[in-house]
Chain A
Amino acid sequence: KAGVTQTPRYLIKTRGQQVTLSCSPISGHRSVSWYQQTPGQGLQFLFEYFSETQRNKGNFPGRFSGRQFSNSRSEMNVSTLELGDSALYLCASSWGPRGSGNTIYFGEGSWLTVV
């Protein structure tokens, strides 16, 4: 069974540009979450999608958005990039029903550098 797949793995963008990151969850998983990891702020929750609906949202500005498709694949978008958006973006998937406590699996991440 394939794991959580994130693309692209590495990318460099210029301030002011926008970026789209993609995540394919494990087959059968309906929940996809996104996290930002930086040396200064650690791991911070961005948002979670379940069955194409945003179920949770972290404390990030509106420049950060996401969506989930009917096949559970998810994309996150960051508009008007700032230098501080440079980070490792991790995607995680799980089967997902509330309270199920099922295991959450992570992808290898997308490294974003903003210059």
Chain B
Amino acid sequence: AQTVTQSQPEMSVQEAETVTLSCTYDTSESDYYLFWYKQPPSRQMILVIRQEAYKQQNATENRFSVNFQKAAKSFSLKISDSQLGDAAMYFCAYRSAGTSGSRLTFGEGTQLTVNP
């Protein structure tokens, strides 16, 4: 079974600064997808960024980028120029590309605080 670990329960960053959230995962599969979801106080899960395991290039979405290290099974999220609206719980998630359909395995989450 796959597991996802987020070792930072809480992180804080000053507005306009950069912060990196860590995520490691364990799998025996070679083909899979990794995601970062944001959950604001409204509790709706919002996709921030996704990475296909077969792609070596790190995904980027505006101020959000990832550092995907497949051999190390590491998938960190970097938020640049942090904004107050970035404050939320962030979840790292794994999805198999094989037979497990649309099932996501989530980490424990990292609560991000953005200080003005």
Contact = CB atoms under 8 A, between A and B. Distances in A.
Interface of A: 31, 33, 35, 37, 42-43, 45, 48, 50, 55-56, 58, 88, 90, 92, 94, 96, 98-99, 101, 103-109
A48 B96 CA distance: 14
Contacts of A108: 42-44
A88 B33 CA distance: 25
Interface residues of B, number: 27
B43 A88 contact: yes
Contacts of A105: 47
Given A43-B91, A103-B50, A56 B45 contact: no
B44 A33 contact: no
24 contacts: A33-B103, A33-B104, A37-B43, A43-B104, A45-B103, A45-B104, A50-B102, A55-B102, A56-B100, A58-B103, A88-B43, A90-B43, A92-B45, A92-B104, A96-B102, A98-B98, A98-B101, A99-B31, A99-B97, A104-B35, A104-B47, A106-B45, A106-B46, A108-B43
B105 interface: yes
A88 B107 CA distance: 17
B101 A101 contact: no
A101 B95 contact: yes
Interface of B, secondary structure class, is loop
Interface of A, secondary structure class, is strand
A101 B33 contact: yes
B106 interface: yes
Nearest to A41: B108
A56 B101 contact: yes
